[in-house]
Amino acid sequence: MATTLVLAAAGGLLATAPTASAAVTCASPLFKREYFANTTFTGTPKRVDCDSAVAESWAGAPAYGLPRDRFGVRWTVTRDFGSGGPFALSVAARDGVRVYLDGVRKYSVWTDLATVRAGTVNLTIPQGRHTLRVDFANWTGTADVKFSYLPRTSATVDKVRPLTPAGFAVAYDRATGRTRLAWAKNKEMDLAGYRVYRRLSGQAFPARPVVITGTAATTATDAPPATGQTFVYELRAVDRAAHESAGTVDLSVATVDRTPPAAPSGVAAAVSASAVTVRWTAPAGAATHRVQRAAAPAGPWTTVVESLAGAASYRDLTADFHRQQYYRIAARDTAGNLSAYSATATTGAPDTTAPAPVTGLTAQGTTAGNRITWTAPATTDTAGYEVFAAPAGQEDPDGPEYVTGTSYHDALAGTGAETVYRVRAVDHYGNLSTATEASTGRPTPAAVPAPVMEGAAPSDLHNVVTFRPGGPDPVTGHRVYRRANTSSAWTPVDTTDPYTFTGTDSGAPLGRAYYYVVALDADGNEGPPSATAEAVRDRPVLTAPLSAPVLTVVQDVRIAVVVDVKPADADRGKGITGYEWSFSCTDGSRHRTTGETARIQASVPYAGPCDLWVRAIGHYGSTGNTAYQDFFWTR
């Protein structure tokens, strides 16, 4: 017959009819309870049901069909004990009771008792599934029996870590920015809960968990920082002795980036060259910047550029710099998150004070045009200069030329007439100084042919300009001119004799330089200019030849000579590209190495005295002073 089990109001289980033992299955951790009409537990049980606990007191027959005395009841449970550990088996009974673990007796009081006798057995239950069995026998009188098995949770007793939780899984919801974590319920009887740990990918887990749950939980949620970074999760079980299990396999989620960068800092605005230049310090993670401008500190604000990429500065050409302006900046990252705005910066009150005039204005005529130079005023806000040029008594017909340097070349000046030059300083607000004036005439070229320009090139100690005579007419020399840009004045840098067709410029600047050459007649007058040539330097001119390198003999063996070479201290970082070297006792072959340091390895065929010489090779190929190392080999 089948047995229908009903959960009673008091939490017990009621059986409506007896059933055969084999037909009853009790889900762990319920006990399977079997009633016998004897104390030897033999024969077929009279009744079988499921019991949630062993706690009974019978004054008569415990069930229908059983005698009042001399009956037996057996409780059996098989369950997973997780990681196992120390347990206490507590027993209290009148009459006989025996407790078994996996068929091994652990407790036995097997006699007819007049009063209840209690006892406790402390033992260690191994990890995994095990079976507990309680056999109770009543001989006469009242039948009392209680049994419980509980983990011992004191940290001084329990040294066993709980098992790692199983079935750990994570899922990230990009819409909500939350992570859902799930796992299977742990089997530990002394479980205190679960701890969820989170770390940034590539870093260690912190000591504190981000989520702590109770024993019943098998899910949790977490909101990792929405930074677009990858975060890693790990779950650990914890028992009542505060032991943590080993962590689960680490599972990662890639978060959506909703975290804006920090606001830009150090914002400054200043009028410069008829515009407003705004500069700031970009925060980490900034991809672009929004620049806003207002005429008042509190706005309203106008966006002058929405998405400025690259450098953390902006030149606002649309601002009315004759009025005080205010600026603020916001940063945007690659995910489109916009930061808070920076502190407000202002240009300050407009400057209406004119700069001081230029000083030291000189004008000098050359056959290539007129050369005008001056000294900048002491004021620090000078942006550039207006240069007016006109024949004496006239006005510049097309207005001034604007230059930013302190020189100007007038290639259009007429010959044989005086040209008057007026120079005014201009500050960032457009205020003009009073004009400073000078005049000169452009000379008529002497009757000597213009040299033929062949080219200009950098070398380590100077730039070299090469040319050839422009004709058979005799000349007394040549003069080389240079300038660094296409509007500045030409400056003479070298004068050669009539038979030298190479000029040098030991003051050549970094970058681009332009050159032309004129021939000189018997009176030293300049002829017409040659065509121009240009040279481009990527290293500064050396002020002296490279020093002799430092030699260190590593191995003094004729057939395997090893010498290390390094630059003199004064030559470090001056562009040495290698070394040229040779042994005097060989065939005189010259060898080259590359790099600022080198190792020379050679085999010398002859014994006797021998010298090694080494010279550094400069960036442009020149060789420096020579270092010598003497050797003498007897065989």
pLDDT of residue 3: 33
User: Which tokens belong to 9?
Assistant: 């109001």
Residue range of the domain that includes 298: 265-346
Domain boundary among 254, 285, 312: 254
The answer as to whether 157 is a domain residue is no
**102 in the same domain as 12:** yes
Whether residues 9 and 99 fall in one domain: yes
In this structure, the answer to whether residues 329 and 371 fall within a common structural domain is: no
- Sheet containing 96-101, strands listed edge to edge, beginning at the edge strand earlier in sequence: 47-51, 31-36, 71-80, 129-138, 96-101, 104-109
CATH code at 141?
Answer: 2.60.120.260
164 in a domain, yes or no? no
Cβ atoms within 10 Å, residue 276 = 22
Domain boundary among 254, 274, 293: 254
- Angle at the Cα of 623 from the Cα atoms of 606 and 539, rounded to 5 degrees: 145
435 within domain boundaries: no
Burial 546-578 (b: 16+ CB within 10 A, else e): bbbbebeeeeeebeebebebbbbeebeebbbeb
pLDDT score recorded for residue 380: 80
For residue 560, the SS3 value is: helix
Q: Are 513 and 535 in contact (CB under 8 A)?
A: yes
Measured between alpha carbons, how far is residue 307 from residues 215, 263, 292, 345 in Å? 52, 15, 11, 19
Whether 470 and 516 have beta carbons less than 8 Å apart is answered as no
Q: What angle do CA 128, 129, 135 make, to 5 degrees?
A: 140
DSSP character for 487?
Answer: S
First and final C-alpha spacing in the chain: 115
The residues with which 85 forms a beta bridge, in sequence order, are 125
pLDDT digits (tens, 9 = 90+) for 365-389: 999 999 999 999 988 888 899 999 9
User: How many whole angstroms separate alpha carbon 148 and alpha carbon 90?
Assistant: 5
Quick one: 18 and 89 in the same domain?
A: yes
What distance lies between CA 154 and its chain's CA centroid? 47
Tell me how crowded residue 167 is: count the other CB atoms within 10 A of its CB. Answer: 11
Q: Do both 147 and 30 map to the same domain?
A: yes
Position 17 scores a pLDDT of 45
505 close to 462: Cβ distance less than 8 angstroms: yes
**Backbone region of residue 202 per phi and psi (left: phi > 0; alpha: psi in -120 to 50; beta: other values):** left
β strands within 38-175, DSSP E: 47-51, 54-58, 71-80, 85-94, 96-101, 104-109, 117-125, 129-138, 143-151, 169-173
Q: Do residue 292 and residue 246 come from a single domain?
A: no
Distance CA 41, CA 515 (A): 121
Residue 493's nearest CA partner among 451, 468, 473, 463 is 463
User: What is the pLDDT at residue 487?
Assistant: 87
pTM: 0.57
Peptide bond into 29 cis (omega under 30): yes
Mapping DSSP onto H, E and C, the string for 426-481 reads EECCCCECCCEEEEEEECCCCCCCCCEEEEEEECCCCEEEEEECCCCCCCCEEEEE
259 in any annotated domain = no
φ, ψ (nearest 5 deg) of residue 21: -60, -45
Same domain assignment for residues 9 and 142: yes
Instruction: Give the pLDDT confidence score for residue 21 in this predicted structure.
Output: 58
Taking 50 as the pLDDT cut, the residues of the chain under it are 1-17
23/140 same-domain check: yes
Residues 6+ apart with CB under 8 A from 280: 264, 265, 266, 267, 268, 289, 312, 313, 329, 342, 345
The verdict on 410 and 484 lying in the same domain is no
Q: Is residue 496 included in any domain, yes or no?
A: yes
The residue whose two tokens read 């004054």 is 59
Whether 242 and 304 share a structural domain: no
Domain boundary residue among 199, 230, 254? 254
* Angstrom distance (rounded) from CA 151 to CA 191: 10
DSSP string, 174-234: TTTTEEEEE-PPP--TTEEEEEEEEEETTSPPPSS-SEEE-TT--EEEE----BS-EEEEE
Residue 352 within a domain: no
- Extract the tokens encoding 345: 């910066």
Please spell the DSSP secondary structure of 388-426, one letter per residue: EEEETTS--TT-PEEESSSEEEETTPPBTSEEEEEEEEE
Residue 397 in domain:
yes
What is the largest distance, in Å, between two alpha-carbon atoms of the chain? 152
pLDDT the model gives residue 600:
93
What total number of domains does the chain contain?
6
Together in a domain, 532 and 484:
yes
**CATH classification at residue 282:** 2.60.40.10
Q: Is residue 508 a part of any domain in this protein?
A: yes
Tokens describing residue 209? 């968990």
d(CA 216, CA 42): 41
pLDDT at position 58: 95
Residue 35, strand partner residues: 47, 73
> Same domain, yes or no, for 18 and 143?
yes
Helix (H, G, I), strand (E, B) or coil at 172: strand
Residue 422 tokens, joined: 């007026």
